[in-house]
Amino acid sequence: MARNVDKGNHVVRLRLSAAQIKLLAPGIKLLVESYEIRQRSGTSPFTYPFRIYPPPPGFDRGTFNQSCMDKTLNLCETLKAQSQNGRWVKVDAIELRAAIFAIRAYIEFVRHLRRQHRLKDREFKAGLRIDNRSIALLKTKSHRVPLASRLCEV
- Over residues 90-129, the pLDDT tens digits come to 888 899 899 988 988 888 888 888 888 888 877 766 666 5
Q: Directed axis angle between helix 66-80 and helix 93-128, to 10°?
A: 80
Q: 88 in a domain, yes or no?
A: yes
Q: 148 in a domain, yes or no?
A: no
Beta strands in the chain (DSSP E): 5-6, 11-16, 87-92
Q: 149 in a domain, yes or no?
A: no
Mean pLDDT of the chain: 78
Q: 144 in a domain, yes or no?
A: no
Rounded mean pLDDT of 15-23? 83
Q: Is the pLDDT of residue 144 over 70?
A: no
More confident residue, 64 or 135: 64
Sign of CA dihedral 21, 26, 32, 35: negative
Residue 7 pLDDT: 59
Q: Is the pLDDT of residue 79 over 90?
A: no
Tell me the β-bridge partners of 89: 14
Residue 145 pLDDT: 45
The DSSP secondary-structure symbol of 55 reads P
Q: 49 in a domain, yes or no?
A: yes
Q: 151 in a domain, yes or no?
A: no
Domain count, the chain: 1
Q: 143 in a domain, yes or no?
A: no
If pLDDT is split at 50, 70 and 90, which confidence band does 154 have? very low
Q: 45 in a domain, yes or no?
A: yes
| Owning domain of residue 72 | 2-56+63-128
Does residue 86 sit in helix, strand or coil? coil
CA–CA separation, 5 and 71 (whole Å): 18
pTM reported for the whole predicted model: 0.68
Q: Is the pLDDT of residue 149 over 60?
A: no
64-70 own/partner pairs: CB under 8 Å, 24+ apart: 68/94, 68/98, 69/35
Q: What single-letter amino acid sits at 59?
A: F
- How crowded is residue 79: how many other Cβ atoms within 10 Å of its Cβ? 20
Tell me the β-bridge partners of 12: 5, 91
Q: Is the pLDDT of residue 62 over 60?
A: yes
